[in-house]
Chains A and B, each alone.
Chain A
């Protein structure tokens, strides 16, 4: 058993739901107990969809377990077919459904429905949401596009523009809606048509004609890489794997499109985002060397690391992902920027690392938002899982030219502005403008006071967690040194304390004086 307070990903059948809900005429019959319909809320509330997800649950109860749950499934599948008239049907089980072993695939085939049936085997006790989405999409592509496969690929008729498929966007994907729009626009400008976007807003017929495109663009490898590899093998379609998040990655993406599509090279200057100039402008100088910690799904985390280091001039102090399937790619990226990769789905491990490296900015998921808030560190969201505020009404892509602009604004916004930062350093004891007064956009959060409880006297005091007890144990601070430390602005103070203590221990100093503090500063150069 694994003790989990938060989970980065849902179970694999939620991944299957994300594919089903993205499609327009495919229905999903899910063998699941009463209560598993909670997942509908993700789509109707977080993504604010107008329609119920195209999912029929058998919602069996305890009393059904004594009877014929297989019959219950068959009834549900038959009724779903009659009511919703889908063009294809996904069938599968949730984690509890898996335990009772009714074989939804076999049962659905026994109904002899006149549509393709895709039986999903999603091992709920081993795999997670993204894997579930990837497997579902892959099985769907095999079933619906498979019959059209031909080993030989005719050369493209040069009289028409090259066309590609965009693979990977789903329901409940972080900014998938706007990424598709941005990348489609970019491709169109380059002279490439988008044949099919899948699974988002695709029909069963669209999936069936995936093989007609000249190449595939894998926007979200976590979801579409397996399907794209299969298409490459069976239809001879090359695939693009550069994910165009950030100015540099967008440039690389364009170069790759030019090569794979066999079109004329373009002037990269016309695709330079405003963010490139913004980062060069003197106002951004204070961003240099800001210490940033990055965590998310592998695609977004790796892309964010490149943007942070190469396009904003931040210093990367940690990079991690919960996507085990892409651990290797994440490790390679971490090595490139000189940090160790954290591959974990345990949010406590992530929190411990954030605590240890004391970043000035955290780029992560909804969970890192909680962690950052708890530690008073500025934070921006770069990856799922996310809450309702990250399915915005406005146009907010992460990819392409406009995506790079969005990233610049989103990441710089939580940081204290340069002037504010200077004044804090100079006038430490200003009565209005001091380190306890958080920036107006960062709500104050003091864990010692429990705001939710109305009965103050009875509130449980949360255990104060020691910040690095192993360090505090063997070195002491003089009062003078302690007060000198407080003159350092709070957003770098944690790092300064750690560096000084490390320096003291390494050089065998038992008591830290003002002298030690400045020695350490000289040693570490900051």
Chain B
């Protein structure tokens, strides 16, 4: 995984025409990949996420998810103790014990993820082998996989990437007929809309990764074409490529334009008749446009500043600038995958300031100096910026809200309009 992190940097060093992102290094105010568990465990309903880490990891998870009142959460932490570090306890035996304990308590679990953290990576606890060993023990009832959600290797949504990339090698082999795979966690309502849309276009054999249950995970093979629904899936895409699947290059399905182009990429690959394509998407596209018009009046001409968080920043800036006529001042992203974002970058207005990485204090200086109308940032800096009189939109919400597709285009715009509306509503 450390090698993978290095190669990600390698690929992002390739310069793309027209864009000169500023690469910054310094303190990064971002989540680690463990946070992905918060939404992944709701999506995969018979999966359990066991973090192997420290009390800090457990504390992060409950701080991020703690306001939800669970009957019982499907995630936990095996907290490394002094004796594990001193080598007094065989860490592997301890882990096996924790897993046994867990599976007795939750007999309904079919898929268990051992999730690596900074401490487990630094002490080089081999969770891949642990997962193999435990799979042997608990098969066929429970499958056990591993991935790393550590902060040293993954930033926020990259946790989902690592999780899905771990799933890919275990996916069933696809039949010979062509199939379409939509990759990335989507809200259930969005998934259903997409299914109906593909069906109307005459594209059958559509699958989604991840599926709701372990037994329903999609097949993959050389006849698979896949569309990335999220921009942060570098390792998952690479793993799918290794299985012979082919990526359909497309913008991400955010906003009416992005969604149309997303479906357009699939339609082209399936040779869908252009007239049929128009017939199918036009009503939804028109509905989305009507919904967006309401918010354009509120957002038009407003400046916006993105702090890096989820890698959604570039597609969002594209949507906000082209469909709502906002003016991005700086688009920060934790990591820029040029190949996957090529279509998005081509649609962005020229001379956009894109920053990859972060030096939080300097970036805050720039933000304060620019005084944007709206700042998209994490919760660690949102209230402090509000206290300085800047209006903020906290970015994590974008991962927990249905924002993809035609029907959600206006909802997505509303997320950005709401803080501005609120500022106007509150007297003094």
Interface flag for A419 (CB, 8 Å): no
Interface stretch (choices A41-49, A285-293, A311-319, A426-434): A41-49
Would A7 and B55 be within 8 Å (CB), given that A65-B152, A96-B152 are in contact? yes
Interface flag for A11 (CB, 8 Å): yes
Chain A residues 367-397 with CB under 8 Å of chain B are 369-370, 373-374, 387-388
B101 touches A95 (CB 8 A): no
Question: When chains A and B are docked, how far (Å) is the Cα of A62 from the Cα of B118?
Answer: 9
Interface flag for B95 (CB, 8 Å): yes
Interface flag for A4 (CB, 8 Å): yes
Interface stretch (choices A122-130, A160-168, A258-266): A122-130
Interface flag for A473 (CB, 8 Å): no
Would A49 and B383 be within 8 Å (CB), given that A7-B55, A458-B45 are in contact? yes
A459 touches B118 (CB 8 A): no
Interface flag for B197 (CB, 8 Å): no
Question: When chains A and B are docked, how far (Å) is the Cα of A218 from the Cα of B172?
Answer: 63
Interface stretch (choices B79-87, B173-181, B272-280, B286-294): B79-87
Chain B residue numbers with a CB within 8 Å of A124 are: 54-56
Would A128 and B153 be within 8 Å (CB), given that A34-B32, A48-B383 are in contact? no
Would A95 and B152 be within 8 Å (CB), given that A42-B63, A56-B27, A454-B189 are in contact? no
Chain B residue numbers with a CB within 8 Å of A79 are: 361
Interface flag for B137 (CB, 8 Å): no
B45 touches A460 (CB 8 A): yes
Residue-by-residue, is A12-44 near B (CB-CB < 8 Å gives 1, otherwise 0)?
011000000000000000000111111111101
B63 touches A95 (CB 8 A): no
Interface flag for B78 (CB, 8 Å): yes
Interface flag for B9 (CB, 8 Å): yes
B383 touches A45 (CB 8 A): yes
A50 touches B384 (CB 8 A): yes
Q: How far is the CB of B70 from chain A (nearest CB, A)?
A: 7
Question: When chains A and B are docked, how far (Å) is the Cα of A45 from the Cα of B213?
Answer: 34
Question: When chains A and B are docked, how far (Å) is the Cα of A185 from the Cα of B85?
Answer: 49
Interface flag for B268 (CB, 8 Å): no
Interface flag for B42 (CB, 8 Å): yes
A33 touches B32 (CB 8 A): yes
Q: How far is the CB of B49 from chain A (nearest CB, A)?
A: 12
B55 touches A461 (CB 8 A): no
Chain B residue numbers with a CB within 8 Å of A45 are: 379, 383
Question: When chains A and B are docked, how far (Å) is the Cα of A516 from the Cα of B134?
Answer: 50
Interface flag for B91 (CB, 8 Å): yes
Chain B residues 364-396 with CB under 8 Å of chain A are 378-384, 387
B152 touches A3 (CB 8 A): no
Interface flag for B60 (CB, 8 Å): yes
Q: How far is the CB of A349 from chain B (nearest CB, A)?
A: 13
Smallest Cβ-Cβ distance to B72: which chain A residue:
A462
Chain B residue numbers with a CB within 8 Å of A158 are: none
Q: How far is the CB of B138 from chain A (nearest CB, A)?
A: 16
Smallest Cβ-Cβ distance to B5: which chain A residue:
A62
A4 touches B380 (CB 8 A): no
B122 touches A65 (CB 8 A): yes
B151 touches A33 (CB 8 A): yes
Interface flag for B31 (CB, 8 Å): yes
B60 touches A35 (CB 8 A): yes
B55 touches A11 (CB 8 A): yes
A126 touches B82 (CB 8 A): yes
Would A59 and B28 be within 8 Å (CB), given that A3-B102, A11-B54, A14-B59 are in contact? yes
Interface flag for A282 (CB, 8 Å): no
Smallest Cβ-Cβ distance to A58: which chain B residue:
B27
Q: How far is the CB of A11 from chain B (nearest CB, A)?
A: 4
Question: When chains A and B are docked, how far (Å) is the Cα of A59 from the Cα of B32?
Answer: 11
A61 touches B5 (CB 8 A): yes
Chain B residue numbers with a CB within 8 Å of A49 are: 383-384
Chain B residue numbers with a CB within 8 Å of A62 are: 1-2, 5-6, 121, 150, 152-153
Q: How far is the CB of A184 from chain B (nearest CB, A)?
A: 26
Would A3 and B78 be within 8 Å (CB), given that A33-B32, A454-B188 are in contact? yes
Question: When chains A and B are docked, how far (Å) is the Cα of A403 from the Cα of B106?
Answer: 42
Would A76 and B27 be within 8 Å (CB), given that A33-B32, A51-B384, A458-B212 are in contact? yes
Residue-by-residue, is B19-33 near A (CB-CB < 8 Å gives 1, otherwise 0)?
000000001111111
Would A34 and B81 be within 8 Å (CB), given that A1-B97, A44-B382 are in contact? no
Interface flag for A57 (CB, 8 Å): yes
Question: When chains A and B are docked, how far (Å) is the Cα of A322 from the Cα of B355?
Answer: 45
Would A44 and B383 be within 8 Å (CB), given that A4-B79, A37-B30, A125-B80 are in contact? yes
Which single member of B82, B153, B189 contacts A125 (CB below 8 Å)? B82
A459 touches B380 (CB 8 A): no
Chain B residue numbers with a CB within 8 Å of A6 are: 58, 62, 66
A44 touches B84 (CB 8 A): no
Chain B residue numbers with a CB within 8 Å of A65 are: 2, 122, 152
A2 touches B153 (CB 8 A): no
Interface flag for B98 (CB, 8 Å): yes
Smallest Cβ-Cβ distance to B383: which chain A residue:
A44
Chain A residues 39-98 with CB under 8 Å of chain B are 39-42, 44-45, 48-52, 56-65, 76, 79, 83, 94-96
Would A370 and B81 be within 8 Å (CB), given that A3-B76, A460-B45 are in contact? no
Chain A residue numbers with a CB within 8 Å of B52 are: 1
Interface flag for B77 (CB, 8 Å): yes
Interface flag for B428 (CB, 8 Å): no
Chain B residue numbers with a CB within 8 Å of A34 are: 28, 30, 32, 151-152, 155
Which single member of A38, A50, A369 contacts B383 (CB below 8 Å)? A50
Chain A residue numbers with a CB within 8 Å of B45 are: 453, 458-460
A36 touches B361 (CB 8 A): no
Question: When chains A and B are docked, how far (Å) is the Cα of A128 from the Cα of B151?
Answer: 21
Interface flag for B123 (CB, 8 Å): yes
B379 touches A41 (CB 8 A): yes
Interface flag for B46 (CB, 8 Å): yes
A461 touches B79 (CB 8 A): no
Interface flag for B346 (CB, 8 Å): no
Chain B residue numbers with a CB within 8 Å of A374 are: 71
Interface flag for B108 (CB, 8 Å): yes
A2 touches B380 (CB 8 A): no
Chain A residue numbers with a CB within 8 Å of B152 are: 33-34, 60-62, 64-65, 96
Interface flag for A463 (CB, 8 Å): yes
Q: How far is the CB of B9 from chain A (nearest CB, A)?
A: 7
Smallest Cβ-Cβ distance to B8: which chain A residue:
A63
Smallest Cβ-Cβ distance to B67: which chain A residue:
A387
A96 touches B81 (CB 8 A): no
Smallest Cβ-Cβ distance to A76: which chain B residue:
B27
A11 touches B56 (CB 8 A): yes
B71 touches A462 (CB 8 A): yes
Q: How far is the CB of B187 from chain A (nearest CB, A)?
A: 9
Interface flag for A439 (CB, 8 Å): no
B78 touches A2 (CB 8 A): yes
Question: When chains A and B are docked, how far (Å) is the Cα of A14 from the Cα of B66?
Answer: 17
Interface flag for B34 (CB, 8 Å): yes
A94 touches B155 (CB 8 A): no
Question: What residues of chain B have their CB less than 8 Å away from a CB belonging to chain A?
Answer: 1-2, 5-6, 9, 27-35, 42, 45-46, 52, 54-56, 58-60, 62-64, 66-73, 76-82, 84-85, 89, 91, 94-95, 97-98, 101-102, 106-108, 118-119, 121-123, 150-153, 155, 188-189, 212-213, 361, 378-384, 387
User: 16 additional contacts, CB 8 Å, given A1-B81, A34-B28, A458-B213?
Assistant: A1-B78, A10-B59, A11-B56, A50-B383, A57-B27, A65-B2, A96-B118, A96-B122, A96-B152, A125-B82, A128-B55, A387-B66, A454-B188, A460-B45, A462-B71, A463-B107
Closest 10 pairs between A and B when the two form their complex, measured CB to CB: A35-B32, A35-B151, A40-B380, A50-B387, A95-B54, A96-B118, A10-B59, A1-B94, A34-B151, A33-B151
Question: What are 6 A-B pairs with beta-carbon distances under 8 A?
Answer: A10-B56, A14-B56, A37-B380, A44-B382, A62-B5, A447-B71
